[in-house]
């Protein structure tokens, strides 16, 4: 009996709550919305103005001044993504309004939607352009220079690697951004193998070739040099869509030098022969080119960004295919903190036997105005993965099994930033159970317009 009475009371309270909420909604009038929002706006009570405007808009009260007040409140509390939505709506009521346009431009910049911000600035009058700093048109919007080293845990087989890169970004018609990257990768690989035999050793240079037992080790040292050219175009569209198209040309130049070390020589009677000379033989340079094509479509919303992408890696011996899907969550409606993840499905020819999955979660946050930290992790079942819209390509026989990286970027001056990154890679061979670890250290500097 007591349990039944308790449920009846809870049901009545629920009904009363719904009724009171309905009455509260009905109590909103145009005059009340205008008066309360104006008072809160003038008093700069942003944290009360934002939910009040949200409630009014939800209940059908929507007009230019209400959107401007809501947008400015969100802007002042650094909710730039939410403010952007309000200013767009305000412009739909008052097209070309200068205040709404200026605020929208600033929100796009803080939201890191640089292509759309640049396109919007094209319509600025001289006063707006001067006020917002877009009057001067620079040939380049971004330049960076970086270098890195990879330290291998298996120096007997995989040597350390060096990396250098120059990147330049510019705009075409103040709408499409183009990023050009020129980079170099260099590394030394070692392969050891032994030959045993009786009789003449046809792999050694001519010396006294009497019948003997030989025992020698061949050391194949490969000098690998790669030159990369990467081009990416970002094209903004209406309704917060961004299309990214990119391609990368990779030119490989490999040189093999075989060092033959003779350990001992004996004739048939067991007598020690005089030491045979060691020798080296350099093979002709092996050159080939690879090409990577990538396309990504991204949709921005107030709190979540969605993207899908495809990549094809044309390698001389075989091709790699890849599709990806990503989500990025901005809990504070700005670029100061976001968490996301990318899922990769990739395979080689033949398609049915080599498909694999990889997943990469990441976090980016800005604890203070000038300092940003990023961290990411990747877990991969097998095979190579192409990342960052085709920018990062691994075309070696050693795929990344998992990776952890931590980066930091600090704005030294208004237009000058320095950044560093540490990465730990665990790699495995596609053809054997050989594994090793790379420690990556990267330093860079960037200049923005």
What lies within 8 Å, CB to CB, of 311 at 6+ separation is 292, 293, 294, 320, 321, 322, 323, 324, 386, 390
Residue 261's pLDDT is what? 58
Report the alpha-carbon distance of residue 245 to residue 360 in Å, rounded.
21
pLDDT > 90? residue 9? no
CA atoms within 13 A on the CB side of 350: 2
16 C-beta neighbours (distance < 10 Å), count: 10
> Average pLDDT in the 16-23 region?
43
d(CA 63, CA 34): 10
Q: Which long-range contacts (CB under 8 A, 24 or more apart) does 361-367 make?
A: 363/338, 363/339, 364/337, 364/338, 364/339, 365/336, 365/337, 365/338, 366/335, 366/336, 366/337
SS3 (DSSP) at 110: helix
What does the alpha-carbon distance between residue 167 and residue 385 come to, in Å, rounded to a whole number?
22
C-alpha dihedral (151, 157, 159, 165), degrees to nearest 10: -90
pLDDT higher than 70, residue 5: no
Q: H or E stretch including 106?
A: helix 98-110
* Range 140-168 burial, b when 16+ CB lie within 10 A, else e: ebbebebebebebeeeeebbebebebebb
Inter-CA distances, 76 with 45, 113, 133, 312, 428, Å: 10, 19, 20, 44, 50
Output the CA torsion sign for 338, 78, 111, 307: positive
241 in helix, strand or coil? strand
pTM tops 0.95, yes or no: no
Eight-state DSSP code of residue 272: B
For residue 59, which phi and psi values (nearest 5 degrees)?
A: -95, 15
Domain edges within the chain: 22-132, 142-448
Condensed to tens digits (0 to 9), the pLDDT of residues 97-110 reads: 999 999 999 999 99
Same fold, 22-132 and 142-448: no
pLDDT, residue 237, reads 92
Q: What is the pLDDT of residue 109?
A: 93
Q: 3-class SS at 200?
A: coil
**What does the pLDDT read at residue 187?**
85
Find out whether 320 and 386 touch, Cβ atoms under 8 Å: yes
pLDDT bucket at 274, cuts 50 / 70 / 90: low
Q: Which two tokens stand for residue 94?
A: 């008052």
Q: Are strands 176-198 and 371-380 parallel, antiparallel or unpaired?
A: unpaired
User: Is-contact 153 437, C-beta < 8 A?
Assistant: yes
Q: What is the pLDDT of residues 385-444, one digit of tens each?
A: 999 888 998 888 889 999 999 999 999 998 999 999 999 999 998 888 889 999 999 999
- The H or E element containing residue 170 is strand 158-172
Is-contact 258 281, C-beta < 8 A? Answer: yes
Homologous superfamily in CATH for domain 22-132: Tetratricopeptide repeat domain (1.25.40.10)
What's the pLDDT at 117? Answer: 92
Report the alpha-carbon distance of residue 318 to residue 346 in Å, rounded: 13
Task: Give the separation between CA 124 and CA 143, rounded to whole angstroms.
Answer: 25
Q: Which residues face 265 on adjacent strands?
A: 214
Region 198-214: mean pLDDT is 44
Determine the average pLDDT of the residues in 250-261: 75
pLDDT of 59 over the 60 cut: yes
Enumerate long-range contacts of 303-307, CB under 8 Å, 24 or more apart: 303/81, 303/329, 303/330, 303/331, 303/333, 304/328, 304/329, 304/330, 305/330, 305/340
Q: Which residues pair with 404 in a beta bridge?
A: 377, 424
What pLDDT score was predicted for residue 445?
97
Quote the pLDDT of residue 260.
60
Asked if the model's pLDDT at residue 207 lies above 60, the reply is no
The mean pLDDT value for 151-173 works out to: 90
Q: Which of 330, 407, 402, 400 is nearest to 373 (CA)?
A: 407
Question: What band does 350 get if pLDDT is binned at 50, 70 and 90?
Answer: low
Mean pLDDT of the chain: 84
Cα separation values, 115 from 55, 171, 173, 243, Å:
32, 8, 11, 11
Mean pLDDT of 280-305: 86
Which residue did the predictor score with more confidence, 443 or 27? 443
Of 407, 323, 308, nearest in space to 366 by CA:
407
CATH number of 142-448: 2.40.160.40
Q: Is residue 271's pLDDT more than 60?
A: no
Q: Write the DSSP symbol of residue 350.
A: S
pLDDT surpasses 80 at 358:
yes
Give the lowest-confidence range in 76-85, 218-227, 311-320, 433-442.
Answer: 218-227
**pLDDT tens digits for 82-93?**
999 999 999 999
Lowest mean pLDDT segment, chosen from 29-38, 197-206, 290-299, 331-340: 197-206
Dmax over CA atoms of the chain, in Å, equals 115
């Amino acid at each position: 009996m007591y349990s039944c009475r308790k449920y009846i009371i809870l049901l009545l309270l629920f009904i009363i709550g719904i009724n009171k909420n309905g009455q509260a909604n009905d109590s909103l009038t145009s005059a009340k919305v205008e008066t309360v929002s104006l008072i809160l706006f003038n008093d700069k009570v942003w944290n009360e103005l934002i939910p009040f405007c949200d409630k009014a808009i939800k209940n059908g009260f929507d007009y230019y001044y209400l959107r401007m007040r809501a947008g400015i409140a969100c802007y002042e509390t650094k909710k730039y993504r939410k403010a952007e939505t309000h200013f767009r709506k305000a412009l739909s009521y008052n097209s070309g309004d200068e205040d709404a346009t200026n605020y929208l431009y600033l929100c796009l910049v803080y939201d890191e939607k640089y292509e759309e911000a640049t396109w919007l600035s094209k319509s600025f009058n001289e006063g707006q352009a001067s006020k917002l700093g877009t009057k001067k048109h620079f040939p380049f919007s971004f330049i960076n220079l970086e270098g890195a080293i990879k330290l291998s845990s298996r120096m007997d087989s995989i040597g350390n690697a060096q990396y250098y890169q120059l990147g330049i970004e510019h705009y075409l018609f103040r709408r499409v951004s183009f990023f050009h990257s020129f980079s170099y990768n260099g590394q030394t690989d070692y392969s050891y193998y032994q030959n045993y035999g009786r009789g003449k050793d046809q792999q050694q240079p001519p010396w006294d070739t009497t019948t003997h037992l030989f025992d020698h080790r061949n050391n194949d040292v490969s000098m690998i040099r790669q030159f990369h050219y990467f081009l990416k175009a970002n094209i903004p569209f209406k309704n917060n869509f961004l299309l990214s198209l990119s391609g990368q040309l990779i030119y490989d130049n490999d040189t093999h030098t075989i060092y033959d070390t003779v350990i001992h020589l004996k004739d048939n009677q067991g007598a020690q022969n005089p030491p045979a000379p060691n020798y080296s033989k350099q093979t002709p340079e092996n050159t080939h080119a690879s090409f990577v094509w990538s396309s990504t479509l991204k949709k921005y919303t107030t709190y979540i960004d969605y993207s899908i992408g495809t990549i094809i890696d044309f390698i001389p011996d075989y091709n790699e295919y890849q599709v990806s899907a990503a989500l990025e969550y901005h809990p504070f409606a700005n670029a100061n903190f976001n968490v996301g993840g990318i899922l990769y499905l990739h395979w080689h020819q033949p398609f049915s036997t080599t498909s694999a999955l990889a997943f990469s979660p990441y976090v980016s946050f800005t604890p203070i105005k000038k300092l940003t930290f990023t961290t990411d992790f990747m877990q991969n079942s097998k095979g190579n993965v192409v990342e960052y819209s085709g920018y990062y390509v691994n075309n070696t026989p050693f795929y990344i099994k998992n990776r952890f990286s931590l980066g930091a970027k600090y704005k030294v001056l208004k237009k000058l930033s320095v950044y560093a990154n540490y990465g730990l890679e665990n790699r495995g061979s596609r053809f054997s159970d050989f594994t090793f670890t790379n420690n990556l250290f990267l330093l860079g500097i960037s200049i923005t317009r």
